[in-house]
Amino acid sequence: MFIDEARILVKAGDGGNGCVAFRREKFVPRGGPSGGDGGRGGDVVMEASQQHNTLIHFRYNPEHKGERGRHGEGSNCTGRDGASVVLKVPVGTTLFDAETGEQVHDFSRAGESFVVAKGGRGGRGNQHFATPTHQAPRESEPGRLGEERTYRLELKLLADVGLVGFPNAGKSTLISRISAARPKIADYPFTTLEPNLGVVTVGEAPEQRSFVVADMPGLIEGAHLGSGLGIQFLRHIERTSVLLHLVDVSDGSGREDPVADFKVIFGELDSFGHGLAEKPMMVVATKIDAANPLKLKKLVAYAKRRKLEFYAISAVTGAGIEELKWALEKAVQTARVVEPEAAAFDF
């Protein structure tokens, strides 16, 4: 099951209480205060992991607590610190404050960690309250409470290329052809109900290169208003570098105008916002083994007029697949160079 949103409650451990004690030893009649400090409460930490690709483990376990610090003891013994809790999240998870909606942190690389709730400080024992005029203090401090926060987690998959298009445009077939991904493929709409990722490799070792492709569930007109599967999955291509727009040009598609199909999907991307309409885009005519020549010609002319890269493929026969893979690799490499430069000058 693919879960890309979750709401959790985190509670860091409370600090241990300080101790009231006095030193009692033979031949030391007035040993003075010897109460130790309480231990610090355990933090709740989130860490990005490549071993996870969904938030399902938070859906069924929404509460997480750090261990409380142990209380201080006599003989100036400090209590043990509470153990921290480490929560693994997929790379690409964004953390929001559930009450204010403010973005707290974005986990963009593996191994990145962030403290989501800080443990309480341990209380001081009575040894800290001794003064020349108050040599037998019976005061101590209670431990501070650990932070308690409610967060909303939102997962946006990390991929280099995002596949978009109408249902049954051939997105799942293409990703199964160019990668090891095996999504469900059938001859009815909305076969894909959740995003699928596939790793595409081009070239031979040691010059072999790879990139990640994300297959999105099909869009239809009015998706931004909730029609079909809506646009709930489009957040997963916000981080992509290149969009691959697949258009079915076969007679069996049931759609007469491929240019109108492109405009509808582009309009949905534009309505969603977040810069999707401004991303580098390629147009791919699919199912050319059964293509309608007039549809193909019309789509080619439109792509040329819009100055969009155009490719025609058949995932069944393999026609155009290799050429498309190399074109995608080139576009991804270009985007990887441009994006860091843009970030460097972003003041």
Under CATH, to which class is 1-155 assigned?
mainly beta
Whether the predicted model's global pTM rises above the 0.75 cut: no
Tokens coding 313: 């493929």
Q: How confident is the prediction along the chain (347 residues), in pLDDT tens digits per residue?
A: 567 789 999 999 999 999 999 988 888 777 889 999 999 999 999 999 888 878 888 988 899 999 999 999 999 999 999 999 999 998 889 999 999 999 999 998 889 999 999 999 999 999 999 999 898 899 999 999 999 999 999 887 777 888 888 887 888 888 888 887 665 554 544 455 567 778 888 877 667 788 888 887 766 565 555 555 556 667 777 778 889 999 988 887 667 888 988 998 888 888 877 788 888 899 999 988 888 889 999 999 999 999 999 999 988 888 998 999 999 988 888 887 765 444 433 32
Sequential DSSP letters for 67-87: PPPPPPBTTTBPPPPPPPEEE
User: Which residues lie below 8 Å from residue 103, measured CB to CB, with a gap of 6+?
Assistant: 94, 95, 96
- Cβ atoms of 270 and 279 within 8 Å: the answer is no
Q: Give the CATH fold of the 161-344 domain.
A: Rossmann fold (3.40.50)
- Enumerate long-range contacts of 333-340, CB under 8 Å, 24 or more apart: 333/209, 335/160, 335/241, 335/242, 335/280, 336/160, 336/241, 339/241
Ordered by start, the domain boundaries in the chain are 1-155, 161-344
Integer Cα distance of 279 and 299 in angstroms:
20
Q: Is the peptide bond before 206 cis (omega within 30 degrees of 0)?
A: yes
